[in-house]
Structure 1
Amino acid sequence: MPAYALALALLVTGPLLGPGYLLLRDAVSTPRSYLTDAALGLSEAAPRALPQDFLVAVLSSMIDGGVLVKALLIAGLWAAGWGAAHLVATVVPDAGLAGRFVAATLAIWNPYVAERLLQGHWSLLVGYGALPWVAAAVLRARSGDGGWWPVVGSIAVAGLTPTGLMLAAVVALAGCAAPGGGRPRWACAAVSMVAAVAGALPWLVASVVGDSLASSQAVGISAFAARAEPGLGTLGSLAGLGGIWNADAIPASRTSLFAVVATVVLLAVVAVGLPVALRRPGAVALLVLAGVAVVAPALMATGPGLAAVESIVRSVPGLGVLRDGQKWVALALPGYAVAAGAAVVTLRGRVPAVAAAAVCCAALVAVLPDLAWGVGGQMTAVRYPAGWTAVARAVNADPRPVAVLPPDSMRTFGWAGTAPVLDPLPRWVSADVLSTGDLVIGGEVIPGEGVRAREVQRLLLEGADASALARAGVGWVMVESGAAALDLPVTYRDDDLVLYRVGGDHPPAAHRGTLIAAHLVWLATILAAVVGGAVGALRRRRAAAAASQ
């Protein structure tokens, strides 16, 4: 089963296996990243990418950052398929290998994966891949067949992003509701929450000691609401695991009425297994959660729902993570996987299990054909022009704050394809790069949290001289794609990039040591779970060997 899941993951990500870097919308990988203030969550922006940026910064000092990000993405998809099969083996063991194949296929080959890949949410897909493992670990603890370390480890791994951790915590609590004669519910819930808090420390601490909880996250709530696909409506799109807010980040097969056929097939596979799954105590809570995960984002996309989300985010700015309603449909994965795996049990009296599994797997793949090979070739590995390396080398030799023109957060580079992408520079230099975080969605400007960056960019656009920029704490100015010509000393110039030296500086943020410690707690939680799980498995093996003598 691990081999099958890996084969599916590689079939999806195949174009990334060659040389180059993942550079697509929100996905940015560079040869090296650094522990800048932004990577630690100490910039003006909300700490959305913690502890992801910390991990990449640490590991890219040993492994090329492009290889690292691609490997983590593939591992996330592999974990999703393998974990779904493991969950079916836990909840519906009589589904056998055939049922596990169906579950693994559904977990990897679905619109949610396709759309999040095209949006560049590689780290969210790592958290997505951890969800079936979280569910299985908690259910095994409830039944008395498993220990605590798998629960702790799987939740901590999902914590690569704040969203992933929240998803894992909800799945864990749903699993705690299942009946069982092993660990009590309160103990499962307590351990799950302790693991979740340990995983959340990086962004919780950053939110407390930093200055990033801005009310601007409440602007543009409607732009991030789940979107109705052709012929389906919002509820139908979400039920079929689609409906991402960005209409440009969807596979071509979801842009026509064929999306209805695809959704009907996926839901049919799930529905066939429901009668069996509902009779398995461990599955009921996961199925209820799946229903909520579909209905809640649909309600969030209505007028009253949008008003409620905006009110919540304005009252508690740190909950701006709620804006993207469709990403919460990932909570349906464990329930959908169990039901899909149980489909072969439902059909067993009329169709051989192997034939039923083959038909289900083939149907799931056939209705989303363009997920294969980088979502129809839209996701590829790209190579940076030599100028980017030269600019990064110059800035890293004297790491002072960098201002960038044009001021937009998203760029379009001819050498990286037609899709917009986040500016790679902040992840390539050891200096902090000033960014407003502003986004333009459907002609509407969604302001970011970069107040200082906005002031610096005003100075640049007004033609401020070097002394004014230096007083504002600007050390370098990089101009991309001929956006402007400045009267400043030039350090590097080519047809695409110009790097100007200004010489100003800005003191590093306070609390860097505190944030590093918080990140190390998260890493230590994962390592402790790995070591504890390995020691426990070794002890059980020795005990079994002693009992057999």
Structure 2
Amino acid sequence: MVTAPLLAPGYLLLRDAVSTPRSYLSDAALGLTQAAPRALPQDFAIALASQVLDGGVLVKLLLILGLWLAGWGAARLVAHVLPDSGLGGQLVAATLAIWNPYVAERLLQGHWSLLVGYGCLPWVATAMLARRHWQLVFWVALAGLTPTGLVLAAIVALVCCRTWRDIGVTAAAAVASALPWLAAATVADSLSSTAGAGVTAFAARAEPGLGTLGSLAGLGGIWNAQAVPDSRTTLFALVATAVLLAVVAVGLPVALRHREARPLLVLAAVAVLVPAVLATGPGLAALDWLTRSVPGLGLLRDGQKWVALALPGYVLAAAGVARLGRAVTVVCCVALIAVLPDLAFGVAGKVRPVQYPAGWAAVAAIIDADPRPVAVLPPDSMRQFSWAGPAPVLDPLPRWVSAEVLSSGDLVIGGQTVPGEGARGRAATRLLLDGASRDELAAAGVGWVVVEAGAAPLDLPLTYRDADIALYDVGGSAPTAAGRPLLIGAHLVWLLTLAGAGVVAAFGCRFRPRR
């Protein structure tokens, strides 16, 4: 019901979601750029897998898998912790895990890999509570497609720990999964300590009729007001939140009676309260100081994404409504869906594949045949393509070519510019905007210039141009970044952790004796 549009041909291209036919093990995919390694080891995994499977198909399958895992994992967690709730409790839990504002808003923001990590959280909790350590390692590594997913999974696992061995296994899995971005940050020195500039722009946001705390408690409140379902932009958001919280509250007493559920219920409360506090004036000031003072803590800016930690506790509490009978269980499932009707069919058709114009493939092929550094216009990180729908999207070029794409990473949010970490990209863009000559651009290490989205043509040697994209040959080059073998090794550690733990866990389930 949610992902049906993704079954159509095409590529997911919506805000932060960028899929391309092919990706490469470029410096960007390994984290050897000035930008913070926010998409590792995701980009490495997509680059490997797209050698055998079209990248657009791969991203869509992973997104569908993430939501499937969320619902299935919620049911498994309930079956382990609240076995008396039966099938009814599992169905309520699965419905809440998939059909909620967090999923809708992250779909609209294009955070498909975050939703994969979100889908792993109930599996992480179940594996730790059942003391199935190899399964735990697998789910932590899978959630570790992104740094945020790994942190979410590690926190859930630690909350469920009982022994020092549990803590040790969690720490080992987290370190092995974090090696790609830890190594990249060390080698490329890309952890900026100036991320506080975007703290206010990325803070959790109050929705109509709800304060920030109420929005977060209802699993909404994303910072981007444009990435919100239409039903959450009116006072109906108040009704929807009341229904979701009522389902959770009615079943909460049942969940509280089970010892294994209590740490996850406490975590759910903390996951709502802390982002709400950080969205206040003093909270923003503290977070601004922290992210400016400690490199790497820009990860904390998007406060609402941490509400995902409430998922295991919420589904356990919701499952408790099954004690009131089958009729109440059905009503709760229907009510959760009814108060968010526009999550259906790709959030009312907004999450759907698009087709690239032919010129993009032609330009990518030319650059890949001679992968020199690429400067891009327009200067902003976000693009507005007429063929990709009304929503803006991150520039797809860095994920499509094997060459380094020089970008500043600057974002404009509500009229405020949030600076990125790309100093070289910012310098190259300034040269282009100032009308620099070919020799000046080449001396600055620019090999190609790509002009997208109908920007004005340049007085440079033209290699390709159509109505959608133009390519200019500048002729410059740059030395190969150092540290590729180390970064590839770090990524392989993550990949072997994921695959090895998966195989061992699968064989453990296959041969575990029945009780």
CA distance in 1, matches of 2:226, 2:35: 25
Distance of 2:158 and 2:486 partners within structure 1 = 29
Report the TM-score when normalising by structure 2. 0.99
CA-CA distance at 1:311 after TM superposition = 1.2
Kindly indicate whether residue 93 of structure 2 is the aligned counterpart of residue 98 of structure 1. Answer: no
Of 19, 31, 56, which residue of structure 1 is paired with 2:46?
Answer: 56
Deviations 1:39-74 (A, max 9, x none): 111111000000100000000011000000000000
For residue 156 of structure 1, what is the aligned residue in structure 2? 141
Q: Does the Cα contact within 8 Å between 1:218 and 1:317 map onto a contact in 2? A: no
Secondary structure at the residue paired with 2:435?
A: coil
Instruction: Say if 2:503 is the partner of 1:513.
Output: no
* Structural RMSD (CA): 1.0
Cα shift at 1:487: 1.6
Alpha-carbon distance in structure 1 between the residues aligned to 2:286 and 2:478: 39
1:289 aligns with 2:261: no
Match of 1:480 in 2: 452
Residue 340 (structure 2) aligns with = 368
Runs (5+) with no aligned partner, structure 1: 1-10, 142-146, 177-183
Which of 498, 505, 514 aligns to 1:526? It is 498
From 206, 220, 226, the equivalent of 1:228 is 206
Q: CA deviation at 1:26?
A: 0.2
Counterpart of 1:140 in structure 2 is 130
Query: CA shift at 1:290, angstroms?
Result: 0.2
Q: Which residue of 2 aligns with 1:494?
A: 466
| Alignment map for 1:335-354 (pairs within 5 Å) | 335-345=313-323, 347=324, 352=325, 354=326
Q: 1:215 aligns with which of 189, 193, 199?
A: 193
Offset, 1:231: 0.6
Quick check: 1:426–1:433 contact (8 Å CA) kept in 2?
yes
Q: CA deviation at 1:538?
A: 3.2
- TM-score of the superposition, structure 1-length normalised? 0.93
2-structure distance, mates of 1:481, 1:87:
47
Q: Which secondary structure state, in structure 2, belongs to the residue aligned with residue 256 of structure 1? A: coil
1:70 aligns with 2:60: yes
Q: Give 2:154's aligned amino acid.
A: A
Shift of 1:540: 2.0
Structure 2 unpaired stretches of 5+? none
Q: Does 1:20 align with 2:5?
A: no
The CA distance in 1 between the partners of 2:15 and 2:172, in whole Å, is 34
Using the alignment, how far apart are the partners of 1:323 and 1:125 within structure 2?
18
Distance 1:68 1:384 in 2: 16
Q: Which residue of 1 aligns with 2:33?
A: 43
Counterpart check, 1:379 vs 2:351 = yes
For residue 445 of structure 1, give the secondary structure of its aligned residue in structure 2: strand
Deviation at 1:312, TM superposition (A): 1.1
Q: 2:102 aligns with which of 107, 112, 119?
A: 112
Provide, for residues 413-444 of structure 1, a one-character-per-residue CA deviation record: whole Å limited to 9, x for no partner: 01000000000100110101011000000001
2:232 aligns to what? Answer: 254
Identity value in percent: 70
1:170 to 155, 162, 169: 155
Note if contact 2:398-2:404 (Cα within 8 Å) is conserved in structure 1.
Answer: yes
Corresponding residue of 2:390: 418
Cα deviation, 1:235-259, whole Å, max 9, x if unaligned, reads 0000000000000000000000100
Code of the residue aligned with 1:303 in structure 2: it is G
Cα distance, 1:523 vs. partner?
A: 0.7
Contact 2:268/2:311 (<8 A) preserved? yes
Give the distance between the partners of 1:315 and 1:490, measured in 2 at CA.
45
Conserved 8 A contact 1:150-1:533:
yes
Q: What SS class does the counterpart of residue 215 from structure 1 fall into? A: coil
Once the two structures are superposed, the pairs formed by residues 400-439 of structure 1 within 5 Å of their partners are: 400-439=372-411
Name the structure 2 match of 1:458: 430
CA separation in 1, counterparts of 2:22 and 2:510? 38
Contact 1:216 1:448 in 2 (8 A): no
Distance 1:168 1:240 in 2: 21
- What does residue 21 of structure 2 align with? 31
Letter of the 1:496 partner, please give it.
Answer: D
Helix, strand or coil for the counterpart of 1:478? Answer: strand
Secondary structure at the counterpart of residue 500 of structure 1: strand
Q: Distance in 2 between matches of 1:457 and 1:297?
A: 36
What CA distance in whole angstroms lies between the structure 2 residues aligned with 1:518 and 1:319?
A: 21
Equivalenced residues, count: 515
